[in-house]
């Protein structure tokens, strides 16, 4: 008679070392498969007499059930081990994921001009100024005439203007009879801002302007200015200078060397040029300051009575100052940018050096 206990022990010994599902299934098949050892024993029951079958049959069937159950239990154990192994290997490493994200996702950033413009707007807003906007396509009146620069005035040649029509051709007017141009300075907003406002008032107007100029390290054809105007009673040149210096100190957050010299602009009298000591070369001379150590930054002056009149203001009662900050040059000084053309380059390597979103 076959020793069922021995078969059971042998099976358990073999099963205990198995680590793979296929191995367990093979072993199970060796015992209880179609031609397995225990299956053969069960087949042989028919050749036994009734007593033998009664004694042996249930035990053989028990062994068969035992082998099947143990195989199932062992398979579950293997499955649990495999799941745990996978969990350990595939653990989500949050720090790693972050590093990968930082490396692969390109964040947008603010253009340095936007940063400086926002900062200046905040400074002026805190001092009670309004922030105005104006059209890029202008007419002769707002760009020149209202600013005390009549036709044929030599000052028209101070800024190389982009005309939509030939300015010397009297017929070259648009449907409204006005000659159109791309504004050559933000001073166009002086009269637009004055009309409809009652003194005292103050406003700034940042925006792009256009000039048909040769470009170099400090000159662009499309660049940004920030116009400012303050109108009231008894405003003096001392007020103007105090304002300009306060603003520069707020922007640079350190003392910067400036110089004031007479400047001619038909729309102000007296007029000044406010230059800043070049911060690219610390005044020793470079391509930005044209080797002179100073950069023209903030022309300004007391508003000419003719301009006040064009803006509907009584020049016998009110006066005030205006200025036209070269915003791009200010950005260059603040960030140490040695060529204005970087600002318009669209080069992401340049842009991404500044504050990210």
* Helix orientation angle between 4-16 and 21-32, rounded to the nearest 10 degrees: 170
Binding test (CB under 6 A) with ligand FA5, winner from 240, 268, 280, 343: 268
Q: Classify burial at 231, counting beta carbons within 10 Å of its beta carbon; exposed 0-12, middle 13-18, buried 19 or more.
A: buried
Cβ–Cβ under 8 Å, residues 258 and 275: yes
CA distance 320 to 229: 7
Smallest gap from residue 96 Cβ to ligand FA5 (A): 47
**Which residues make beta-bridge pairs with 162?**
182
223 forms part of the interface with ligand FA5 (CB under 6 A): yes
**Of 71 and 143, which CB lies nearer to ligand FA5 in the complex structure?**
143
| 142 touches ligand FA5 by CB under 6 A | no
Q: Which of 324, 331, 332, 337 binds ligand FA5 (CB under 6 A)?
A: 324
Interface positions, 335-354, toward ligand FA5 (CB under 6 A): 340
Residue 171 CB, shortest distance to ligand FA5, in Å, is 29
User: Measured from the CB of residue 214, what is the shortest distance to ligand FA5 in angstroms?
Assistant: 9
Q: Is residue 329 close enough to count as binding ligand FA5 by CB under 6 A?
A: yes
Closer residue to ligand FA5 in complex, CB, 60/229 = 229
Q: Is 300 in the site for ligand FA5 (CB under 6 A)?
A: yes
Window 2-41: residues binding ligand FA5 (CB under 6 A) = none
Q: How far, CA to CA in Å, does 303 sit from each of 126, 212, 309, 323? A: 23, 27, 10, 9
Distance of CA 174 to the CA centre of its chain: 40
Query: Tokens 């070259």 belong to which residue?
Result: 172
Least spacing, CB of residue 115 vs ligand FA5, in Å? 18
Burial of 307: CB neighbours in 10 Å, binned 0-12, 13-18, 19+: buried
Count of Cβ atoms closer than 10 Å to residue 278 Cβ: 24
Contact call for residue 265 and ligand FA5 (CB under 6 A): yes
Which residues contact ligand FA5 by CB under 6 A? 159, 185, 187, 211, 213, 219-220, 223, 225, 265, 268, 271, 296-297, 299-301, 322-324, 326, 328-329, 340
């Amino acid at each position: 008679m076959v020793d069922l206990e021995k078969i059971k022990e042998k099976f358990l010994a073999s099963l205990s070392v198995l680590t793979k599902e296929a191995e367990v299934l093979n072993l199970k098949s060796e015992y209880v498969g179609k031609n397995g050892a225990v299956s053969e024993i069960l087949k042989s029951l028919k050749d036994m007499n009734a007593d033998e079958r009664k004694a042996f049959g249930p035990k053989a069937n028990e062994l068969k059930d035992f082998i099947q159950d143990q195989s199932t239990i062992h398979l579950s154990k293997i499955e649990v081990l495999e799941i745990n192994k996978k969990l350990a290997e595939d653990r989500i490493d949050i720090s790693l994921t972050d590093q990968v994200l930082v490396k692969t996702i390109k964040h947008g950033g603010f253009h340095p001009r936007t940063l400086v413009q926002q900062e200046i707007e905040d400074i002026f807003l805190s001092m009670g100024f309004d922030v105005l906007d104006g059209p890029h396509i202008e007419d002769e009146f707002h760009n020149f005439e209202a600013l005390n620069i009549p036709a044929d005035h030599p000052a028209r040649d101070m800024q190389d203007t982009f005309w939509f029509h030939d300015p010397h051709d009297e017929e070259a007017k648009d449907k409204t009879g006005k000659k159109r141009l791309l504004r050559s300075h933000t001073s166009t907003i002086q009269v637009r801002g004055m009309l409809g406002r009652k003194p005292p008032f103050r406003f700034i107007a940042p925006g792009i302007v256009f000039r048909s100029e040769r470009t170099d390290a400090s000159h662009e054809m499309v660049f940004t200015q920030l116009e400012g105007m303050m109108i009231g009673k008894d405003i003096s040149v001392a007020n103007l200078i105090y304002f300009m210096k306060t603003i520069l100190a707020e922007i640079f957050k350190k003392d910067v060397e400036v110089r004031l010299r007479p400047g001619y602009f038909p729309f102000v009298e007296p007029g000044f040029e406010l230059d800043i000591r070049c911060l690219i070369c610390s005044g020793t001379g470079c391509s930005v300051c044209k080797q002179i150590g100073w950069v023209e930054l903030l022309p300004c002056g007391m508003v000419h009575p003719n301009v006040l009149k064009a803006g509907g203001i009584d020049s016998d009662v009110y006066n005030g100052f205006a200025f036209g900050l070269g915003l791009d040059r200010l950005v260059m000084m603040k960030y140490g940018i040695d060529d204005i053309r970087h600002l318009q380059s669209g080069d992401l390597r340049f842009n991404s050096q500044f504050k990210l979103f």
